[in-house]
Amino acid sequence: MHVMILGAAGMVGRKLIEKIAREPLAFGRPVTRLTLADAFQPPVPESLRSVSTALTVDLAGAGAADRLIEGRPDLIFHLAAIVSGEAEADFDKGYAVNLDGTRALFDAIRQAGLAASAYVPRLVFASSIAVFGTPFPEVIPDEFFTTPLTSYGTQKAIAELLLADYSRRGIFDGIGIRLPTICVRPGAPNKAASGFFSNILREPLVGEEAVLPVSDNVRHWFASPRSAVGFFVHAATVDTARIGARRNLTMPGLSALVSEEIEALRRVAGDKAVALIKRVPDPMIERIVAGWPTQFDAERASSLGFKAETSFDEILKVHIEDELDGRIA
Amino acid sequence: MHVMILGAAGMVGRKLIEKIAREPLAFGRPVTRLTLADAFQPPVPESLRSVSTALTVDLAGAGAADRLIEGRPDLIFHLAAIVSGEAEADFDKGYAVNLDGTRALFDAIRQAGLAASAYVPRLVFASSIAVFGTPFPEVIPDEFFTTPLTSYGTQKAIAELLLADYSRRGIFDGIGIRLPTICVRPGAPNKAASGFFSNILREPLVGEEAVLPVSDNVRHWFASPRSAVGFFVHAATVDTARIGARRNLTMPGLSALVSEEIEALRRVAGDKAVALIKRVPDPMIERIVAGWPTQFDAERASSLGFKAETSFDEILKVHIEDELDGRIA
């Protein structure tokens, strides 16, 4: 089968590529062709080099979507996006990529299907819990309305609506998945407001200090990078007849306090690791985080077989296995 | 103030124009300029001729939105749309007008605001309960999610999201209002699946027969044309600070059975009127209607002062006053 990943150079894209390299039958059939596209040059693992094409492309560029769909991929992962902060700062760029780029992709599939019969690929779209905006209940149910408070969340919510309508019309077979905050996020500390959730685990595990800018009793919604990849693989293969018309699903996750993160770190790496967490309250980050969802009842996705971690001990175990070769400082 | 009505030739548009003609201070300040636009030539009442400009325009046409906004209307009613059946039958046309046309309008306002400071008009958008799709609870609450099952409903839900984001960014001061089924709809019987709800009242009141294609215990959600105009006028003047970021509101309405319509008709016009209703079951219409919402808890809109009828007797009274000069056959 021909698999295409848009946004292949991002963190989840890279992990998905690694998964395909490790498990060539992850989608049931062998991947005989792999198209990797991103605004930045995507990485291609050695073992996939013979079947892969890596493209540097701007999804919002004229004709870009049509060229991507020319090769009639059977399975499309659409992970490409201008991230939240940039979409808020640059109105035009956010709408151009996250809305117009997504719609161009969807319409390119439609045109391909009109031109050649029976082209109806599976399309898995990375949505976000940013489609929700305060105020919301402590535990957000599957049927709660989407009232985003950012342009990014608005663009994701619109893409979800388009995905459902195009799927209903049989243009493609789409699923939108709303990811929890990915933790432990690999790589260097970044300046995202959510970065500290990962930093306070990742850095102490390698003997480095990390800053905690919020109080210990902040609650948030998490899943590991391994679970995120698992969501995408499951979405690629699940029987969509079971999903019906409501194609956008909040993924399961772990609702946990910062203090639970810290206690899991203590169990795994001891007091000396915990001592590397420096408390430096940042009222602005406190305020931003206070506007984020803390827990979902992801009943629909769970009943469809999507799975995430159920404790921070598991999330740490995944990180240590996948990123640290099983070794901690 | 300069008021613009897009979709001025439609039923609600015409009634809104008549309201302005009758009550020049309906919006608090005198209407010194009235721009009426539609794909069809909109009507201009005699008394408004001196302040009105009537334009025949395709909102989806190149540059159309920019030209409409050139005159910097202070208050914009956006009622223009490709209706449900046509948007479903003609994919491209529905998206071109209901999504792209709406976005072009919103972006034209944004460009006007960037070019000249302090241009932030009030914008009232006609949305629809078609943003909801089955299955839903018997009474749909304000926080229920929007999962439309038509392209029309999808386009309305997307426009709602854009309206909220553009309002949040201060580009305009928007309100989206989701109208109940308008009843009694004036004019000739039409072929819309919902037409019979009005036909079985309007026709017998003038001594004509009407067909009832569904059972008496079908429940639906109604408001009179007068209430619909009232919603738009109230939306034009309500303090949006009270609404907050969630700019799209399900309007209040009357949840009633077909049998309640018929009994109200009997009270007003007697058994001879009721005898003009011919029961001709139509399984296709039964099936379509079964997928429609039957009742909402429109608590937010009600608390903001939006009002509808609370009985079919009232709805009939409005029809007899507004359409029949108080006389029945």
Among residues A137, A135, A104, A105, the alpha carbon closest in space to that of A123 is found at A105
Residue-wise over B80-109: b if at least 16 C-beta within 10 A, else e? bbbebeebbeebeebbbbbbbbbbbbbbbb
Write down the pLDDT at residue B47.
95
| Mean pLDDT of all residues in A87-101 | 96
Which chain A residues are Cβ-neighbours of B145 within 8 angstroms?
Answer: 142-146
Q: Could A91 and B169 be called an inter-chain contact, meaning their C-beta atoms sit closer than 8 Å?
A: yes
Nearest to B147 among A149, A154, A246 (CB): A246
Which residue among B144, B162, B164 places its CB closest to the CB of A143?
Answer: B144
Q: Which residues of A touch B (CB under 8 A)?
A: 91, 133, 142-149, 151, 154, 157-158, 161-162, 164-165, 168-169, 245-246
pLDDT at A188: 83
Residue A254 near residue A180, CB atoms below 8 Å: yes
Confidence of residue B122 (pLDDT cuts 50, 70, 90): very high
* Mean pLDDT of the A94-99 span: 97
Active-site residues of B: which are they? 152
Amino acid at A51: V
Contact (CB<8Å) B161/A162: no
How far is Cα B204 from Cα B200, in angstroms, rounded to an integer?
Answer: 7
How far, in Å, CA of B134 to CA of B295, rounded? Answer: 13
Could you tell me what percent of chain B has a pLDDT over 70?
100
d(CA A119, CA A114): 8
Write the pLDDT tens digit of every residue in B82-95: 988 899 999 999 99
- Whether A314 shows a pLDDT value over 90: the answer reads yes
Tell if the CB–CB gap between A154 and B144 is shorter than 8 Å: no
Q: To the nearest whole angstrom, how far is the Cα of A232 from the nearest Cα of chain B?
A: 22
The shortest CB-CB distance from B146 to any of A133, A145, A169 is to A145
A157 and B161 within 8 Å at the Cβ level: the answer is: yes
Whether B158 and A154 lie within 8 Å, measured CB to CB: no
Confidence of residue B99 (pLDDT cuts 50, 70, 90): very high
Q: Do residues A54 and A264 make contact, with C-beta atoms less than 8 angstroms apart?
A: no
Q: pLDDT tens-digit profile of B257-289? A: 999 999 999 999 999 999 999 999 999 999 989
User: What average pLDDT is seen over chain A?
Assistant: 96
pLDDT of residue A142: 98
pLDDT tens track for B291-317: 899 999 999 999 999 999 999 999 999
Distance from CA of B154 to the nearest CA of A (A): 6
The tokens for B170 are 């201060």
Q: Is residue B328's pLDDT more than 90?
A: no
Would you place residue A118 in the very low, low, confident or very high pLDDT band (cuts 50, 70, 90)? confident
Q: What is the DSSP letter of A72?
A: -
Would the CB atoms of A147 and B246 count as touching at under 8 Å?
yes
Contact A193/A289 with Cβ under 8 angstroms? yes
DSSP state of B144: B
Residues present in chain A in total: 329
> Taking CB atoms and an 8 Å cutoff, what residues of chain B touch A146?
145-146, 161
CB contact under 8 A, B157 and A161: yes
Please give the pLDDT value at position B192.
Answer: 79
The answer to whether residue B191 scores a pLDDT higher than 90 is: no
Catalytic residue numbers of A read 152
Q: What is the pLDDT of residue A192?
A: 79
Using a CB-CB distance cutoff of 8 angstroms, which residues of chain B are in contact with residue A162? 154, 158
Average pLDDT over residues A286-298: 93
Q: Summarize pLDDT for B195-243 with one digit per residue, the tens.
A: 999 999 999 999 999 999 999 999 999 999 999 999 999 999 999 999 9
At B153 the pLDDT is 96
Q: Would you give the DSSP letter of residue A99?
A: I
| DSSP one-letter code for A144 | B
Give A142's contacts in chain B (Cβ within 8 Å): 145
User: pLDDT tens, A153-167?
Assistant: 999 999 999 999 999
Q: What burial class does residue B70 get, using C-beta atoms within 10 Å of its C-beta: 0-12 exposed, 13-18 middle, 19+ buried?
A: exposed
State the DSSP string of A288-300. Answer: HHHTS---EE-HH
Does pTM top 0.95 for this prediction? yes
Report the C-alpha gap between A284 and A97 in whole angstroms.
28
Mean pLDDT of B34-50: 95
% of chain B with per-residue pLDDT over 90: 93
Structure tokens at B313: 């007797």
SS3 assignment, position A113: helix
| Average pLDDT of span B178-201 | 91
**pLDDT score recorded for residue B217:** 96
Give me the domains of chain A, ranges plus CATH numbers: 2-179 (3.40.50.720), 181-224+253-293+309-329 (3.90.25.10)
pLDDT of the residue at B117: 73
Greatest mean pLDDT range, A187-201, B159-173, B180-194: B159-173
Higher pLDDT, A43 or A1: A1
Query: Which residue, among B165, B171, B172, B249, would best test binding to A if mutated, counting the most A CBs under 10 Å from its CB?
Result: B165
pLDDT in tens, B54-85: 999 999 999 999 999 999 999 999 999 998 88
Name the closest residue on chain A to residue B103, using Cα atoms.
Answer: A95
